Amino acid sequence: MSLLLAPVQGVGLKIKRYRIFNHQIDLVNRIDNYYVNQIVINDSTVANTTANTYTQIKSYSISIPNNDFNRRVVNAVRVQIYGYVSAGTGYVEVLINGSAPTIIKSIVGLGNSNSFSNTSNALIFDAILSLSGISSPYTLSINAYNGTSGDNTYIADVYGFQGLAITSTSPQTIDQKEAIGEILDEIGVNYALYSGSRILIYANRYTTANATASVSDQWGGGTSFNIPAGNDSANVGNVYTPNTDYGVSSPNIPTGYNGSMQATASAYVGASGDILLIGYCYVWFQFRLIQFPNGPHYGLIETSYSIWQSGSLAVQDTNALCGYSSPTGCQTFVNTIFNVSNANTWTNNVAAANFGIDEKYELFVGSSYETIFINLFVVVLE
């Protein structure tokens, strides 16, 4: 139906706004450091010394990032060293800025050092070191020697994973509660199908029992999930998310909500002495199905949208009221206004989709993992 209608006395057209300004934020690291700042050392160059007093044979300059709110949350680094000797007894120590660091957990070795006599490559040091009070960047150095003059001590592999150390068996807040987006709604939309706060964690484990991570929003929604026990190499991190479609099938966001969207993330370990080292923690709000109320909607103008990760944004006609099953079920698509197949892609476009009069429509986001910006205008008859 054309918007160019003859005027009707007492009836007018009004443009109402609906906007989602939604961030995917990192509470520990920074989004743009996705591939950089968790595994801070991954060195397989062999170095050796015949010295019989501590001699520096490896050194690394490492930066500590702030998170997306420009606060420093990272507080620990796990260091693993592999090495061997030709004969005799080898000794190794780890220093930060030339001094012995505070040890959160000794795994292999005692404190910041260890002795060893293996003649083939093996793990000779493993510890989680505190970065509290350490300025960025810092220098992590490895010193070694052999107790027998003329015998070689070899340092073969050095790995380092940096992040937020979770050591408590009670929930520990990751950074703090924050507003990570906002909604402007002059239309009165309804949210359905997995709408609400979501979380993704990338972590290195030294745990004997399941750890737990969770996120909650200001409406009591969110999700909680277990991170299985394990002992990872310090050059490895694992991504953990809820097992279901981000943990909840019912909507958390109230109908017609205007205001900020706030979320709090937390984590804890399942046994005393366990440590979960979180390299990054993504928190965002997910929108899967945005339902417009029945009414004389003459048209919808979509002015801008962005979706992170592959997915689609489509307008659906739900006038048949047959219930939601899938985007290809008994509902009819009015227009698909977004589609991208490349993950980790931001797409910013301008598009339009026409609504018929007096029907019910939905915006469907066809991805289970997305961050979305929507800014649209609906023309209504009043």
Question: What is the DSSP track for 328-353?
Answer: TSSSEEEEEEEEE--TT----EEEEE
Interatomic CA distance for residues 105 and 112, integer angstroms:
10
Kindly state whether residue 358 falls inside one of the protein's structural domains: yes
Share of the chain above pLDDT 90, in %: 44
Task: Determine the Cα angle at 152 with ends 146 and 155, to 5°.
Answer: 90
In the block, tokens 């440590």 appear at 275
Kindly state whether residue 14 falls inside one of the protein's structural domains: no
- DSSP letter at 58? E
Band of the pLDDT at 305, cuts 50, 70, 90?
low
Per-residue pLDDT tens digits for 68-90: 888 899 999 999 999 999 999 99
Q: Do 49 and 122 share a domain, yes or no? A: yes
H helices present in the chain, as ranges: none
Q: Do 47 and 146 share a domain, yes or no? A: yes
Interatomic CA distance for residues 122 and 118, integer angstroms:
7
pTM above 0.85, yes or no: no
Interatomic CA distance for residues 333 and 318, integer angstroms:
9
Q: Do 215 and 236 share a domain, yes or no? A: yes
**Looking at 55-59, 315-319, 332-336, which range is the least confident one?**
332-336
Band of the pLDDT at 94, cuts 50, 70, 90?
very high
Per-residue pLDDT tens digits for 182-225: 888 888 888 876 677 888 899 999 999 999 999 888 887 778 88
Interatomic CA distance for residues 158 and 167, integer angstroms:
24
Domain count within the chain: 3
Q: Do 239 and 346 share a domain, yes or no? A: no
In the block, tokens 């700042």 appear at 37
Interatomic CA distance for residues 210 and 178, integer angstroms:
27
Interatomic CA distance for residues 348 and 365, integer angstroms:
15
Kindly state whether residue 43 falls inside one of the protein's structural domains: yes
Overall average pLDDT of the 9-27 stretch: 73
Kindly state whether residue 15 falls inside one of the protein's structural domains: no
Kindly state whether residue 58 falls inside one of the protein's structural domains: yes
Per-residue pLDDT tens digits for 36-60: 578 999 999 999 999 999 999 999 9
Residue 291 has pLDDT above 60, yes or no: yes
Interatomic CA distance for residues 165 and 339, integer angstroms:
39
Q: Do 249 and 315 share a domain, yes or no? A: no
Q: Do 303 and 258 share a domain, yes or no? A: no
Residue 113 has pLDDT above 90, yes or no: yes
Q: Do 43 and 102 share a domain, yes or no? A: yes
Which of 285, 300, 327 is a domain's end point? 285
Kindly state whether residue 16 falls inside one of the protein's structural domains: no
3-state secondary structure of 96: strand
Residue 153 is part of a domain; what is its CATH number? 2.60.120
Among candidate residues 165, 77, 60, the one with its CA nearest the CA of residue 126: 77
Overall average pLDDT of the 5-19 stretch: 61
pLDDT of residue 111: 94
Quote the domain boundaries for residue 225. 25-30+167-180+193-285
What are the backbone angles phi and psi of residue 31, rounded to the nearest 5°? -55, -40
Sheet holding 113-116, edge to edge: 55-62, 138-146, 90-96, 113-116
Kindly state whether residue 108 falls inside one of the protein's structural domains: yes
Q: Could you tell me the CA-to-CA distances from 351 to 83, 189, 335 in Å, in that order? A: 59, 20, 10
Sheet holding 311-317, edge to edge: 190-192, 289-291, 361-365, 311-317, 332-340
> 181 pairs with which residues across the strands?
22, 261
Q: Do 112 and 44 share a domain, yes or no? A: yes
Kindly state whether residue 186 falls inside one of the protein's structural domains: no
Interatomic CA distance for residues 194 and 222, integer angstroms:
10
